[in-house]
Structure 1
Amino acid sequence: MNLSERLKELRTEKKLTQKKIALKLNVAYQVYQRWEKGERQPKKESIENLATVFNVSVGYLLGETNIKSGSEIDEIMEKLKVPRQQKTIQFAKKQLIEQTEEDKIVQLHNSLIPYEIEEEQSLSAGRGEAYTDEVGKEVVYWDKDIKHDRAIVIRENSMEPDYHYGQIALIRYQSCVDINGDIYAVDDVERGLAYIKSVYVEDDYIRLVSLNDDIDFEGNRLFPDILLPRDENTRIIGKVIEAFTPIEKV
């Protein structure tokens, strides 16, 4: 309920005319009439005077609470016996905790940063992920604002425990490897595959190394190193500067 609706409600409850309220406030009748119609917003001092005239809190007058005044709560508590007073206080505390948590969630979701990801593109944390030139867009959300050039979904789990399936990799364009062992997005042009790997540049090859060192029952690594030739078919897309799990926006 907004201010104009509250004014009309309270005036009607007290069975007063607009002219009588205006007289109590020492303002012109037309001025109060505009307040009640919502055509004009009273100043802070006038709102406080209105609250005094109607014997309610400013918060109630503005529609921020449904409790008319602190005295209303006191009157109710005084009428309750001690055991019921204690139950009322416990219930009120529980409500306050729930409200605080809800406010935190709302505040978080209002501050979420949108990230536009490429629906058809993904980076393989495995043996390679096929990609296409037909790129759709989807928006996901996170609570940090990181400057980046591309945002792409990670598939498979060869880069665990640091990077997980379904996370979003944020990439900053970089055409070469400046530090061996850092995490890069790599494009195998010839086979149409893209990877997220720890990258090492060797004499004739670029070695793609998985962080996940799990082995099979024969003792072989589930995700062995991948060697790509150092030629035009191997392209460094960029460095992975961050990865995150999207937060669902409600």
Structure 2
Amino acid sequence: MRSNQEIIKLICQEKEAQQMSLSELARQVGMAKSAVSAYLNGNREFPLNRATDFAKALAIDCNYLLGLEADQATEQLTKLYYQLEDQRQEKVFHLMQEELENQLAQEVSDGKGTYSVKAVTKLAAGLGYAFNDYDYQTVQVPNQPPRYDLASIVSGDSMSPDFRNGDIVYLADRGFSRYNGEVCAVAVNDRTFLKRVYLEKELLRLVSINPDYDDILIPFPPSDGEHIRIFTVVGRDSTVTI
């Protein structure tokens, strides 16, 4: 670990290299200009508990500022933690939890740690929703999407609790198959449905998870002029409000 003098020397070097004024550094670390000046002049011992603030202000790694390897940094933090009384350890632990929660919340609000997905129209988990290939909406999701051909947004509650209103579903075009209860997006002419699909004799049976909804029966194969497309659901996720 660096000595107090070495830490101060490094801060001064970085400050000069970045052409940062004393006033700006003090503002960045949230301290009085006179206090920062006293540290840099060697009139006061550098406060190790503010090392993170100085490192962040100078855009350098805190371990580098303190002269610690990763393992040494962990060891130093552990040593400091166990020097505290039990009540103070508890305060530190809760503070770390709170800071982590705030950081994650900030990442979401900044749009970091999320993935952009271009979703087409709305997919009815109910009685059908008008299908429009050109009606797109870009949404943010917290998890990396799987491989998919189309994405759409669930509208309605007929597939709850498995698929909630506002969820995004990922769809793969696997052509026609022998469906036996797979959850699929079914486009029938200009209407779309999210249902469990059963292929029966000369019809498709679309079944909701929510028992409040009746089955929907669709002639299959389609007659001339009728249009049916079926996409298998390969994943789902909630959306994030930015």
Same fold (TM over 0.5): yes
Superposition deviation, residue 179 in structure 1: 3.5
CA distance in 2, matches of 1:246, 1:236: 25
2:36 aligned with 1:36: no
CA distance in 2, matches of 1:137, 1:61: 40
Q: What secondary structure, in the 3-state scheme, does the structure 1 residue paired with 2:123 have? A: strand
Give the gaps of 5 or more residues in structure 2.
1-6, 20-38, 58-64, 67-84
Partner of 2:202: 204
Q: What secondary structure, in the 3-state scheme, does the structure 1 residue paired with 2:180 have? A: coil
Superposition deviation, residue 107 in structure 1: 6.2
CA distance in 1, matches of 2:132, 2:155: 15
Superposition deviation, residue 174 in structure 1: 2.0
Q: Percent identity?
A: 21
Distance 1:35 1:197, change over 3 A: closer
Tell me if the contact between 2:198 and 2:205 (Cα under 8 Å) persists in the aligned partners: yes
How many residue pairs were aligned?
Answer: 185
Partner of 2:61: none
CA distance in 2, matches of 1:198, 1:185: 9
Q: What secondary structure, in the 3-state scheme, does the structure 1 residue paired with 2:51 have? A: helix
- Write the letter of the residue equivalent to 1:193: R
Distance 1:130 1:89, change over 3 A: same
CA distance in 2, matches of 1:213, 1:60: 56
Q: What secondary structure, in the 3-state scheme, does the structure 1 residue paired with 2:194 have? A: strand
Of 118, 124, 147, the residue aligned with 1:116 is: 118
Aligned runs of 1:50-65 on 2, under 5 Å?
56=46, 59=51, 62-64=54-56
Please report the TM-score for the alignment, with normalisation by the length of structure 2.
0.61
Tell me if the contact between 1:199 and 1:207 (Cα under 8 Å) persists in the aligned partners: yes
2:230 aligned with 1:237: yes
Superposition deviation, residue 114 in structure 1: 1.8
Could you give the per-residue CA deviations for residues 62-103 of structure 1, whole angstroms, max 9, x where no partner exists?
5348xx99xxxxxxxxxxxxxxx9987665554333113323
- Write the letter of the residue equivalent to 2:176: C
Superposition deviation, residue 117 in structure 1: 1.2
Partner of 2:32: none
Q: What secondary structure, in the 3-state scheme, does the structure 1 residue paired with 2:144 have? A: coil
Distance 1:88 1:227, change over 3 A: closer
CA distance in 2, matches of 1:188, 1:61: 59
Tell me if the contact between 2:122 and 2:153 (Cα under 8 Å) persists in the aligned partners: yes
Superposition deviation, residue 130 in structure 1: 1.3
Distance 1:147 1:110, change over 3 A: same
CA distance in 2, matches of 1:169, 1:115: 10
Partner of 2:241: 248
RMSD of aligned Cα (Å)? 4.0
- Write the letter of the residue equivalent to 1:239: T
Tell me if the contact between 2:114 and 2:140 (Cα under 8 Å) persists in the aligned partners: no
CA distance in 2, matches of 1:106, 1:152: 27
CA distance in 1, matches of 2:156, 2:227: 21
Partner of 1:187: 187
Partner of 2:135: 135
CA distance in 1, matches of 2:52, 2:231: 56
